[in-house]
Amino acid sequence: MNRACFVPTTCLALALPLAAWSAGPLQASAAAQMAQAESGWTTLFDGKSLQGWRGYRKPDASGTRWRVQDGFLTLPAKDGKDTRGALDIITTDTFDRFELTFEWRISEGGNSGVKYFVLEDMDSAVGHEYQIIDDERHPDAKIGEERQTGSLYDVLTATNRKVKPAGEFNQGRIAVHGSHVEHWLNGTRVLQYELGSPALKTAIQDSKFKDVARFGTPQKGHILLQDHGDQVWYRNIRIRRLSAS
């Protein structure tokens, strides 16, 4: 089946924190930081520490491979294997309605991901994943378009993607308005879907998540950065909670 994005086109477009895209790590001006605070934005990574993050099913981030280096949240290359939550990190806070923005750079042949709606109810860290991968070199990206950059991993395909190559920074954005979810890549909306919709349920049945009862439904969970055994860099990670109206 074609797993391209769907839902009516009369969806609200959210404003991007444009100042965040142009600023490098730790370079945002005091005025920009104040403006973000006034508009409800919270910085999830301060460029100096792992404050606000902990390991999946762990009290803190000790025992993970994540580190802060030159203002980036990063980890070194290893064996290219998914740690399935064992070495992933999650936010200490949980979110249901939110807008998340981040910048990321993947190594050549690398694989990672930003997950949301993550609960700690399973041995493996299961959530909806904004796929981050080297589309040109990683074998997983060759399995199907729903496993390529910006897609809802293994479920829905991102379209109209303008991906910068491995080694260059890309801009990601995830927006959740109740049941409506959007993925953005470098300023372009590449995917949108409705939680609980028949179309999403059908796509899930063709994915590896078909036996996860909660998958595809609204829930309040953690944001997760995936350790897939490859080197990746994140910076300018920010979030704001959205109202129900």
- pLDDT of 39 reads 80
| Domains delineated in the chain | 28-241 (2.60.120.560)
- Identify the segments of the chain with pLDDT beneath 50: 1-23, 25-26
For residue 166, give both structure tokens.
């491995």
The pLDDT tens digits of the residues spanning 91-100 come to 999 999 999 9
Read off the amino acid at residue 210: K
Q: What gap in Å lies between CA 227 and CA 231, rounded to an integer?
A: 8
State the pTM of this model: 0.85
Task: Please give the pLDDT value at position 244.
Answer: 87
Are the C-beta atoms of 126 and 212 separated by less than 8 Å? yes
| Contacts for 147 with CB less than 8 Å, ≥ 6 apart | 131, 133, 140, 141, 153, 154
